[in-house]
């Protein structure tokens, strides 16, 4: 593929990871077709991409309007495509009462994209998955545990489930089954908490973990953490997977250092001493009570009291260089959030 530079279809080109993946592909010389849900988004995405790599490089980017829950447009989207990078999914900061809002785009959407790719004769398929499909349902109730790509989330064994975890896990399971049945060349990338710089204000909900601490909209932190990864590394890993045949049939954790929320706050406090960075912690027992009521706490309750480390060394080898440091991922997220007006002004 590296010599061919065939057309790559990127689903979810308006997203945080999607835009950076488009940028990395264009920098590497690939023509890119990005899927968007609304034609009105094309100009914004093109401008954000061009601001990073220049108008000439961005001229190799085209768009097609498609929806994960509708067949319309997908056959045309696949015309002339050499490889698909399926990144689009539904990500929310809250836990919806109707879980299908998140689960259907993940499960049905992934199946739809794979089906149309297979119908068009596209064999190479790189899918953005998540650590949510790796480190849950293993009986961990407290303490530290290490996870690798050999681990698969067991939804049946989870006390608490949340829509994103269900959707991503079922989608990945179905993708591997479909790829085996149809002879497709599948690779999955599993990011942890994605931070790093946003290219425009249409940024990931992950940045809310940083902006909320900076401006106090997150009044107290849960006693937990995540394996952090910079968005630029996630995007670069997609390109590396495309260019390295040995990645076919493999899962890759995109995970760097584990950071507790209090460590993220310490990093921000040192960099922005003039801001009242959140310092208060929420007791674990309150989080567990709130989990019974549903809402956003359901998304993180499985990590309260559990220090889950995800070994990203295999992904780093795929990348061929060290990951951007977790500290830099936090600080670049903060800088861009402030610059783009995603953080409330200082009082």
CATH number at residue 146: 3.40.50.720
User: Who has greater pLDDT, 289 or 196?
Assistant: 196
Closest to 83 in 3D by CA, of 215, 202, 219, 241: 241
Segment 32-48 mean pLDDT: 94
User: Who has greater pLDDT, 122 or 90?
Assistant: 122
Give pLDDT, residue 54: 95
Q: In the structure, what pLDDT confidence band is assigned to residue 298 with cuts at 50, 70 and 90? A: low
Per cent of the chain over pLDDT 90 is: 71
CA distance 197 to 16: 9
Domain membership of residue 110 (yes or no) is yes
CA distance 67 to 79: 17
Residue 52 vs residues 4, 26, 49, 56: alpha-carbon distances, Å: 24, 11, 5, 11
Question: Which domain range does residue 232 map to?
Answer: 7-197+227-258+311-324
Domain membership of residue 57 (yes or no) is yes
Domain membership of residue 43 (yes or no) is yes
pLDDT digits (tens, 9 = 90+) for 189-216: 999 999 999 999 887 677 888 999 999 8
Q: What is the mean pLDDT of the chain?
A: 91
Segment 92-116 mean pLDDT: 86
Give pLDDT, residue 1: 42
Residue 294 pLDDT greater than 70, yes or no = no
pLDDT digits (tens, 9 = 90+) for 132-153: 999 888 777 767 889 999 999 9
Domain membership of residue 61 (yes or no) is yes
Determine which of 30-44, 62-76, 85-99, 154-168 has the lowest per-residue pLDDT on average: 85-99
Determine which of 49-58, 248-257, 280-289, 311-320 has the lowest per-residue pLDDT on average: 280-289
Domain membership of residue 330 (yes or no) is no
Residue 22 pLDDT greater than 60, yes or no = yes
* Sheet containing 251-254, strands listed edge to edge, beginning at the edge strand earlier in sequence: 61-65, 32-36, 7-11, 81-86, 124-128, 185-191, 251-254
Segment 12-22 mean pLDDT: 96
**Number of separate domains in the chain:** 1
Residue 347 pLDDT greater than 80, yes or no = no
> Could you tell me if residue 59 is left (phi over 0), alpha (psi between -120 and 50 degrees) or otherwise beta?
alpha
| pTM of the predicted model as reported, rounded to 2 decimal places | 0.93
Residue 116 vs residues 2, 79, 88, 235: alpha-carbon distances, Å: 24, 10, 15, 23
Domain membership of residue 291 (yes or no) is no
Domain membership of residue 140 (yes or no) is yes
Per cent of the chain over pLDDT 70 is: 92
Q: Give me the phi and psi of 290, to 5 degrees please.
A: -65, -30
Q: In the structure, what pLDDT confidence band is assigned to residue 2 with cuts at 50, 70 and 90? A: very low
Domain membership of residue 300 (yes or no) is no
Name 147's bridge partners: 310
Give pLDDT, residue 292: 67
Residue 299 pLDDT greater than 70, yes or no = no
């Amino acid at each position: 593929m590296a010599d061919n530079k065939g057309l790559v279809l990127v689903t979810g080109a308006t997203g945080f990871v999607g835009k950076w993946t488009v940028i990395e592909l264009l920098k590497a010389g690939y023509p890119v077709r990005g899927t968007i849900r609304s034609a009105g988004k094309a100009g914004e995405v093109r401008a954000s991409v061009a601001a990073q790599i220049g108008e000439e490089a961005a001229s190799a980017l085209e768009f097609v309007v498609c929806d994960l829950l509708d067949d319309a447009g997908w056959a045309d989207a696949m015309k002339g495509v050499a490889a698909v990078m399926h990144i689009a999914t539904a990500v929310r900061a809250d836990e919806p009462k109707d879980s299908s809002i998140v689960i259907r785009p993940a499960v049905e959407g992934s199946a739809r994209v794979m089906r149309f790719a297979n119908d068009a004769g596209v064999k190479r398929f790189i899918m953005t998955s998540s650590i949510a499909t790796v480190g849950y349902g293993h009986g961990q109730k407290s303490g530290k545990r290490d996870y690798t790509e050999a681990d698969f989330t067991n939804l049946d064994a989870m006390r608490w489930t949340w829509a994103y975890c269900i959707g991503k896990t079922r989608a990945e399971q179905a993708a591997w089954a479909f790829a085996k049945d149809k002879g497709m060349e599948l690779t999955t990338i599993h990011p942890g908490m994605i931070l790093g710089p946003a290219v425009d204000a249409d940024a990931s909900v992950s940045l809310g973990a940083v902006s909320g601490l900076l401006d106090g909209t997150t009044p107290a932190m849960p006693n937990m953490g995540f394996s952090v990864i910079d968005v630029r590394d996630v995007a670069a890993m997609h390109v590396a997977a495309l260019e390295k045949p040995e990645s076919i049939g493999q899962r890759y954790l995109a995970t760097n250092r584990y950071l507790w929320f209090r460590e993220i706050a310490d990093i921000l406090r040192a960099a922005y001493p003039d801001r009242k960075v959140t310092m208060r912690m929420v007791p674990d027992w309150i989080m567990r009570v709130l989990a019974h009521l549903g809402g956003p706490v359901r998304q993180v309750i499985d990590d309260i009291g559990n220090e889950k480390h995800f070994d990203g060394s295999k992904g780093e080898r795929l990348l061929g260089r060290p990951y951007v440091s977790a500290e830099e991922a936090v600080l670049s997220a903060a800088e861009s959030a402030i610059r783009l007006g995603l953080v409330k002004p200082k009082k």
